Amino acid sequence: MNYPNIDPTLFSLGPLHVRWYGLMYVVGFVIANYLLKVLVRKGFFKVTEQKIDSLITHMLICMFIGARFFYVFIYNWDYYSQNLGDLLAVWKGGLSFHGALVGLVVGGIIFARKNNISWLQVLDSVSLAGTPGLFFGRMGNFINGELFGRITDSPVGMIFPDGGPYPRHPSQLYEAFLEGLLLTLILWFIMKKSKTYGVVSACFLIGYGFFRYIVEFFREADAQLGYYFGGTTTMGQILCLLMIFAGCGLLVFVLKSKQRLLRS
């Protein structure tokens, strides 16, 4: 299978370059904004529609800080400890999804406290609205030809521009389908069946952690980290296991607290 070699730059206006990757994130946030308002109209998210822009702002700021913090201090501290001038050089790349997730949780809790609503209600709503954006984010990775998979002789292998001469798994597409499309469908189904806030958030943590853990077997490990535990486990898988454990713990908590967290 041939890699399509799409130009990462959508169009240019003088020195301004609009890239597909950035556009994918914009699309993700536009969809999230729309779905959050849908949840408000359904009565699931008990805030006014005017509050959605404030929530998005909280999420953007905290997500960015968390994503950068994790990448610098967990994924690549050996480099940044010697190049402190690059700590904020995000235009050179370097954001972590797991860090972004922690930032989203923090941003959701801050928003919930300011608006006197359950933080689990906020996180459920963000999980439902934000998961479709994972699809577009991974498609952006695919167009950039980055975060490609391991070398393979299977028919789905592609030769990526920066991946050497051998075909590799298009692991970005695996993640787009599993973490973006399939997980979105699962969460919205659970939302319709569950009557307790926090169940959707817990299932997001478990579902994303499980799907990402599986895809890591096909995805190339971060060059600066490599593998752990005798060459069998990536840092991504370690963090995914922590996500799954956290999701299971949250699920037990919300089910035991059912009377207090019931949706009205």
pLDDT tens for residues 167-213?
999 999 999 999 999 999 999 999 999 889 999 999 999 999 999 99
Residue 78 resides in a domain: yes
Residue 43 resides in a domain: yes
Rounded CA separation 257/241 (Å): 24
- The share of the chain scoring above pLDDT 70, in percent, equals 88
Given a cut of 70, whether residue 230 has pLDDT beyond it is: no
Q: How confident is the model at residue 99 (pLDDT cuts 50, 70, 90)?
A: confident
Rounded CA separation 179/134 (Å): 7
Q: How confident is the model at residue 104 (pLDDT cuts 50, 70, 90)?
A: confident
Residue 7 resides in a domain: no
Rounded CA separation 263/124 (Å): 12
Residue 2 resides in a domain: no
Q: For 119-142, how does the pLDDT look when each residue is reduced to its tens digit (9 = 90+)?
A: 999 999 999 999 999 999 899 989
The answer to which of 21-25, 141-145, 183-187, 250-254 has the lowest mean pLDDT is 21-25
Residue 248 resides in a domain: yes
pLDDT at residue 132 in the model: 95
**Mean pLDDT in the chain?**
87
- Sequence-separated (6 or more) residues with CB below 8 Å from residue 222: 75, 76, 234, 235, 236
Residue 153 resides in a domain: yes
Candidates 63, 251, 38; CA nearest to 128 is 38
Residue 125 resides in a domain: yes
The number of distinct structural domains making up the chain is 1
Candidates 194, 62, 72; CA nearest to 130 is 62
Residue 5 resides in a domain: no
Structural domain span for residue 199: 13-261
pLDDT at residue 51 in the model: 93
Calculate mean pLDDT across residues 220-238.
76
Q: How confident is the model at residue 263 (pLDDT cuts 50, 70, 90)?
A: low
